[in-house]
Structure formats: C-alpha cells, structure tokens
Chains A and B, each alone.
Chain A
Amino acid sequence: MKAKSKLPNLDTVTTINEDGSRFNIHPADVRGRFTRWRRIAALLLIGVYILLPWIPVNGYPAVFLDVLHRRFHLFGITLAAQDLWLLFFFLSGMAFLLFYITAFLGRVWCGWACPQTVFLEHVFRRIERFIEGDAPARRKLDAAPMTPPKLFKRVLKHGIFLILATIIAHIFLSFFISIPQLWEWIRTSPVEHWKAFFFIIITTLLLYGNFAWFREQLCIVICPYGRFQSALIDDDTLNVAYDYGRGNPPGSVKNPEAGDCIDCRRCVQVCPTGIDIRDGVQLECIGCALCIDACDEVMEKMNYPKGLIRYTTENELEGKTSKLLRPRTFGYGAVLILMISAVIFTIATRVPAKMDVLRDRGALFSFNGEGRVENSYTVKIQNMSEVPQTFSLSVDGLEDMRILTDTTVTVSSGENLSLPTVVDVPPEALVDTNNDIRFYAESQPDSLIKLETESRFVGPRPR
C-alpha cells in the first residue's frame, strides 16, 4: 500500500509508511540564491576533500592519518600513537565548536557542509535528475512497470552511482594511505593487499547504499547530532522558519481572510526530508534553505514581499528582538576556548622525542684498564618529530662519571634507535653498591628538546 503522495504531519515521519515501508521522496527542482550559494560551497568542499591528501605541508600531506605506521600528520604537525590523549581535547573542542555554531545558526552544518548533504544533493541527486528527469517524471518512472527504457535508465544510474561510490571510497582511503601507495595498490592484483581491497569494497557498498537508497534516513533516524540539536537551539537561534504571523491562515488570493501564504505547497514539494516547514521547526529539517528559495520565487510572482520563509529566530517571529549574547552562547564559547587553548598548549609544549635507558643484564660491573668501574647500558631514543634530530648524551649522579661510547647520535624521523653505551667511574666515587644516576639527551645545536631518565650504576662495595 504505497501512497503516491503524502501530506506531511507532525505525528509521523513522511518517509516511513504506516506499515514500516519506505516512502521515497522526489524533491522538485528549485532555483534561487541559497541554492546557488549552497552549490558553490559544496563544490569548494568537494575540492577540499579531494585535495587535502595531495597538498604537502612540511614534507607530508596536509592530512595523512598513517594508521599503518601509527603516525598522524595534520597540517604540518606529526603526532605519534603516544599522543593519542590529545584527541580528547581535539574531539571535545570540535564538539563544542559544533554546539557553539548550532546555538547561533541552528543546523547550518547539516544543510551546507555535512558530507552526506554535499555528496547527496550536489552529486548523486544531480545525476538522478539528469537521467530520470524532474520530480513528476521520477515518480512516474517509479510507478511504471519494468520496460527496456526504464531498465536502461536504472542500470545507467546505478552504474554511475557505483563508480562514484568507488571514487569516494578511494578519496576516503587516501586520507589513511599515502597517494603513491594507493596508486601502487590500484595497479596491482587485489590478492597482494586483500585487506585494503576488502576495505574499499565494504566502503563502496556502504556509500552506494547510502547515496542510492538510504539518503535522508541517515539524517532523520541515525545521525546523533540531529537527535540532540533540539537541546542546543533556543528561541534566539537562527533557523529556517515560516513567518506564521504573516502567512496564516493559508488560502487562495481571492480569500480576503487568508494570509500571504497561498498554500501552493512548493515548500513541501522541494523538501528533501519530506516535511512541511509551516508546521514549525522539526527534527527532520536539515536547514537546507531550499524552501526559502521556493517560497521567494512564488512571492515574487505574487508581488508579495519575499521572506515568508526565511532564516529567522522564534523571538523575531513573535515580534521580540533576538539576543546574540546569552548564557548558552557564553557557556559553549567558554568551553570551546578552553578546549582550543588545551589543544594549542599541549601541541606547543609536546616533547617530540622519548628516551629509555636499560641496564644490560648479565654483567653487574667490570673493571677496565684504567682501574675504573664500568657498567653498560642500552640507551633507546625515539624521534617522533618529522625531521632527523641529533642528540648529545650526558650522564650525571656520581663524581667523575664518563661515557666511553659515542655521545653524539643522529636519530632519523620516526626511528627508535638503540645505542649501546658504556659508563665508567673511579671506584672511590661510588657511594653504594647500587647508585642512582641520570641520563640526559639534548637536541643539537638548538637544545630545543631536553630528555632525561633515571637508571642505576652498580659497583663493588665502597671501602
């Protein structure tokens, strides 16, 4: 029992029928300033998504999450797996940035910048429109029996969708695998890298299913941001809204009782989530502003002022003034600044190297030719920065203590170097059989990185 058209209401979700089956939305074409600006924004964003792994910053791609080597390159900063705790501040910062923007601008993210909307509205729906025609033609095609022309259109559409899904999956993978490696994998047999191949297959199928069929269900049922947005907005938040004071009651132009809304239902026809914006702000609304363009077009034809549906706040619709500064924006702003400061502080003060000293097992100590007591160690220095570092090694804790082996060592980027090190001390300098000593490593020539670690020196009982 699939209805051909439906009246949106506040009690049910338009895209889900009473028996649980899906009601497919075919949004009508719309033209206008927001549609144009949104398309420009989407093309810019797609460009950014594609180019980020290609632009080199400090010798690495601008964004390269190298999971294989557990090194994460972000705009010139290289983080290792040990820096994972930074993610807490980064992710909380991103969350509060979203809260902050939502408090002012509502779901502007969903309508303008979310990859789901960007790819669905500006890539996949455009192709569907090109192959299957406008909204009435698409509805007719849906209802028509399977004939060779329909089969051709469907195979063509889904074929292109699959190719696009594969391309997007590769763009996605290029954030995690270097471009030369990805190119190598593309040209060689899948058997040699079956895990990556499997990942691409799964990602492609998920993307294809999402953009070809699942679509607005993701925003309405799955997306958590959509679920808690109603807790983030208030009467001063800018939303896509219908001016009920001016428009109600909707009715024909000839009716002297009717408001400015002529009940043409253009706003309902263009909505990609199938709601009637005139029922007020609803959880399905992704703030895409298509209904604004649709309504403005009608208002222009009617010689009415534009903006019956517009970006506005609940308070303005009630005739009050909206405040930008309010406890909510201060609160979100304060936490946001706190999190951003934490990220900047931790990244700025991060020491991009690590030193460990292991006393060699087996031998406790020995005497060398000069009659001094010798202990041997393995010094491990890990360089987590993106450039090679030269360290000078020193030791402290007992009088006249010397390092007999190399004290200057160069560690290449990402290397964890093991350096066999021998330390000696005159027997009379020993305080105990077991002495606490400290190893120091300083980066050369600038001494920007200073490392130190504890160890012990074992010798004969002092006389």
Chain B
Amino acid sequence: MSDPKNNQDDHLRPHVYDGIQEYDNRLPNWWLWTFYGAVILSVIYWFSFYDAQIMESDTTRIDEAMAKVEEARLAAIGEISNDTLWQMSRNPGFVAAGEAIFKEKCVACHGPDLKAGPGLAGVNLVDDEWKWGNQPISVYSVVTNGSPDKMSGMQSWVNELGPQKVSQVVAFVLSHHTEQEMADATTLNPPINLKTPPVAK
C-alpha cells in the first residue's frame, strides 16, 4: 500500500478549523490560466461595455424592450387624456412613428422644424403660444376633429389617419415640450376638449 502521508507536513498551512487543516498544494496550471484569462477578459469587457461602449449594454437592450412593451400598452389604451398623451410623448416608438407621419402629412403647413413661418398656413408648434388651448387633449382634439375655425383652420385628420396615428403625431408634437412649459404657455382661445368621441374607422 502506498504511503498515505507524502512527507509534506512542511506544506501544511497553519490554520485549523474543526480539526481540519489544508495543504499548500499548487493550483493546476490550467486553472491558473483560466483565472488569468478571466482577468484579461474582464478588462476587455469593462472597456467595450462601459468605457468605449462599443457593445450594446444589457441596460440599453432592456430599456429598448421596455419601450416596445410600453408602446404596445399605450397603443392598447382605450382612453385619451392629458396624462396618457404625455406618456405617449415620452415613448421613443410612438414619437418615431409620429415623426414619420408628421413628415408625410404635416410639414406642408407646419414646416420641417414645426415653426411654420412665412408662406406656410400652419401655426408654430414649438413656441409658447397655443391657439386652441395649452393642453395635450386640445391639440389631440384639433388634429382629430379639425380646427373649430372652419373657415381657415386645419382639417379633421381622424378619417385619414385613424385614432392611433393621430395620437402618434400628437405625441411627436408634445415631445418638443415639457408638462411645465406647456402649462405656463399662453392660449389664444379657451382650451377645447374632445367633446364627441372620435369615430372609429
């Protein structure tokens, strides 16, 4: 039988726990190499994810996924109110969809920078003055039902766009404002409301 003790009591480490002691044997070299590899990898990882941000971090991916979930939730909301319109205006998916619609339908009168200006029929949408009310629901009402000024105001868009796209384009306009700033803005007429429900397509 082989000698159970290998005459290496000099390798014995001084600490004792419950009568158990340990030998100071060397770690396997392959183990050490995986350790060194992990150290090097952690530096590369830290650099590419956190410093240079070459790689997309999990936080970014989760934020994007959550924005999509939020977009689906907002799209499913049955009621339009100041609160829900503000939420939509903070959702990148909603705003991006709204921007696309704006560029197609609205630029002709409101201009590419939303400021309208000389020669364009629309009102400035990024200043601190609102024509039909300094509330999101007023903006939504004007887009949906058209301007109360039937002679020279904007047409109704709900039949052409449908309620979903109307809320997207309003979200895009609102994304240029903050809640406080809009509340402080002036309105030329008393704020209007969505008196009649939008007609379903």
Chain A: residues with CB nearer than 8 A to chain B? Answer: 7-13, 16, 18-22, 214, 217, 221, 248-250, 261, 263, 268, 276, 278-279, 358-364, 366, 376
Contacts and interface: CB of A to CB of B under 8 A. Distances in A.
A9 B6 CA distance: 6
A361 B2 contact: no
A416 B75 CA distance: 19
Interface string B146-178: 000000000000000011100000000000000
Given A7-B2, A278-B2, A361 B163 contact: yes
B6 A364 contact: no
A276 B3 CA distance: 10
B1 A9 contact: no
Contacts of B28: 16, 20, 22, 217, 221
Classify the secondary structure of A's interface with B: loop
A455 to B, nearest CB: 11
A358 B23 CA distance: 67
A12 B29 contact: no
B69 to A, nearest CB: 14
A27 to B, nearest CB: 17
A7 B1 CA distance: 10
Nearest to A21: B29
A82 B51 CA distance: 37
A448 B1 CA distance: 68
B27 A250 contact: no
Contacts of B6: 7, 9-12
26 contacts: A9-B3, A9-B4, A9-B5, A10-B6, A12-B23, A18-B25, A19-B26, A19-B29, A20-B26, A20-B27, A20-B29, A20-B32, A214-B30, A217-B30, A249-B1, A268-B2, A276-B2, A278-B2, A360-B78, A361-B164, A362-B78, A362-B163, A362-B197, A362-B200, A363-B200, A366-B200
A362 B162 contact: yes
A121 B8 CA distance: 33
Contacts of A363: 197-200
- Chain B interface bracket (under 10, 10 to 19, 20 to 34, 35 or more): 20 to 34
B62 interface: no
A5 to B, nearest CB: 12
State the 5 A-B residue pairs at the shortest beta-carbon distance, nearest first: A363-B200, A362-B163, A9-B6, A20-B26, A20-B29
A362 to B, nearest CB: 4
B4 A279 contact: yes
Contacts of A279: 1-2, 4
B76 interface: yes
Given A361-B163, A362-B198, A16 B5 contact: no
Contact of B1 (A250, A358, A376): A250
A248 B11 CA distance: 29
B77 interface: yes
B31 A221 contact: yes
A248 B76 CA distance: 81
A101 B182 CA distance: 71
A401 to B, nearest CB: 19
A364 B27 CA distance: 72
A57 B52 CA distance: 51
Contacts of B198: 362-363
Interface string B71-83: 0000111110000
Contacts of B5: 9-11
Interface string B1-36: 111111010010000000000010111111110000
Contacts of A376: 200
A163 B147 CA distance: 75
Nearest to B6: A9
A249 to B, nearest CB: 7
Nearest to A263: B1
Contact of A278 (B1, B197, B199): B1
A217 B77 CA distance: 58
A323 to B, nearest CB: 27
A261 B1 CA distance: 9
Most buried by B among A214, A217, A268, A361: A361
Given A9-B6, A20-B32, 19 more contacts: A7-B3, A9-B2, A9-B3, A12-B23, A21-B29, A22-B29, A214-B30, A249-B1, A276-B2, A278-B1, A279-B4, A360-B78, A361-B76, A361-B79, A361-B164, A362-B200, A363-B197, A363-B199, A364-B197
Contacts of B23: 11-12
A241 to B, nearest CB: 14
Contact of B2 (A8, A16, A21, A221): A8
Interface in B74-97: 75-79
Contacts of A16: 25-26, 28
Contacts of B1: 248-250, 261, 263, 276, 278-279
Contact of B200 (A18, A214, A360): A360
Most buried by A among B8, B30, B199: B30
A11 B200 contact: no
A7 B8 CA distance: 14
